[in-house]
């Protein structure tokens, strides 16, 4: 990700509809999981960015973050988040086996050369019976300067993500597209921006300033759409979410 994008994220995470929607998505999906049955709630946020998700996760237990960018780590410390490990998600994760009850990996896989390597590493460090929540951008048709600026390698379809997940032993509890309502407007805006903005001056979609009332309306619309994910799955959208569980260990000889 370009360095200037971290400052935008830090300034927008508590007010911009897209970031507020992601926070609601995390609450919505983790809130439906039986976390109380796990003895110790230790959480890991991979690719912590500027820290707003880590802040939200603190309500559930002891939260660790993992981030490579020193720019991002500077913003994490501004939020008084200090349990940060500096590491590259392309490498083996610097944690012991079966350490975390919950792992969030939000918009990270698309940055990696080998996404399956990180998925396998998450399985390794996830406790048996623990959970992984991940999100990725969806559909190559939405590819734009936004992806280029954020250093994406790819966008996913549900079929492609499922095929990748099958190479690990996670149980897929939920998988769905989301950000449906704004999908067509987002595609149109991205195509228009691609025609008028040269690559040298390209910026992410977060540079688009919205009137307060419009942003407020989008926030409520997006939250309502995400809330419905508890009951249904969407057939298309700008992004994909998957909730995974590492199966419990099978008992041997009547002992677990």
Sorted by where each starts, the structural domains of the chain and their CATH numbers stand as: 3-245 (3.40.50.150)
For the chain, the first-to-last Cα distance in angstroms comes to: 44
Q: What pLDDT does residue 213 have?
A: 95
Rounded to whole angstroms, what are the CA distances from 245 to 23, 27, 61, 173? 20, 17, 18, 7
Rounded to whole angstroms, what are the CA distances from 151 to 48, 112, 183, 206, 230? 16, 9, 21, 15, 31
Confidence of residue 145 (pLDDT cuts 50, 70, 90): confident
pLDDT digits (tens, 9 = 90+) for 180-233: 999 988 888 877 776 766 554 566 677 678 899 999 999 999 999 999 999 999
Helix, strand or coil, per DSSP, at residue 73: helix
Q: What pLDDT does residue 255 have?
A: 44
Q: What is the C-alpha to C-alpha distance for residues 207 and 185, in angstroms, rounded to an integer?
A: 16
pLDDT digits (tens, 9 = 90+) for 20-78: 999 999 999 999 888 877 767 899 999 999 999 999 999 999 999 999 999 999 999 99
Confidence of residue 256 (pLDDT cuts 50, 70, 90): very low
Q: What pLDDT does residue 50 have?
A: 96
Q: What pLDDT does residue 5 have?
A: 84
Q: What's the whole-model pTM score?
A: 0.91
| Cβ neighbours for 119, distance < 8 A, ≥ 6 positions apart | 109, 164, 165, 167, 168, 170
- Residue 87, pLDDT above cutoff 80: yes
Helix, strand or coil, per DSSP, at residue 234: strand
């Amino acid at each position: 990700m370009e360095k200037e994008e971290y400052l935008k994220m830090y300034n927008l995470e508590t007010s911009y509809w897209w970031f507020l929607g992601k926070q609601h998505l995390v609450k919505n999906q983790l809130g439906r999981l039986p976390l109380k049955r796990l003895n110790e709630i230790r959480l890991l946020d991979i690719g912590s960015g500027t820290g707003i998700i880590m802040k939200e996760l603190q309500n559930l237990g002891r939260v660790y973050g993992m981030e490579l960018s020193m720019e991002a780590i500077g913003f994490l410390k501004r939020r008084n988040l200090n349990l940060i490990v500096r590491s590259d998600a392309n490498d083996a994760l610097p944690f012991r086996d079966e350490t975390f009850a919950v792992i969030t990996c939000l918009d990270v896989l698309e940055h990696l050369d080998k996404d399956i390597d990180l998925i396998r590493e998450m399985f390794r460090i996830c406790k048996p019976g623990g959970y992984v929540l991940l999100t990725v951008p969806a559909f190559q048709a939405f590819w734009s300067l936004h992806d280029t600026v954020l250093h994406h390698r790819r966008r996913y379809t549900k079929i492609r993500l499922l095929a990748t997940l099958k190479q690990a032993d996670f149980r897929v509890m939920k998988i769905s597209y989301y950000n449906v309502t704004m999908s067509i407007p987002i595609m149109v805006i991205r195509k228009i921006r691609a025609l008028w903005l040269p690559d040298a001056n390209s910026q992410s979609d977060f540079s688009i300033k919205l009137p307060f009332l419009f942003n407020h309306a989008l926030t409520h619309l997006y939250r309502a759409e995400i809330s419905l994910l508890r009951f249904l799955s969407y057939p298309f959208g700008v992004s994909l979410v998957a909730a995974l569980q590492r199966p419990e260990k099978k008992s041997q000889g009547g002992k677990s």
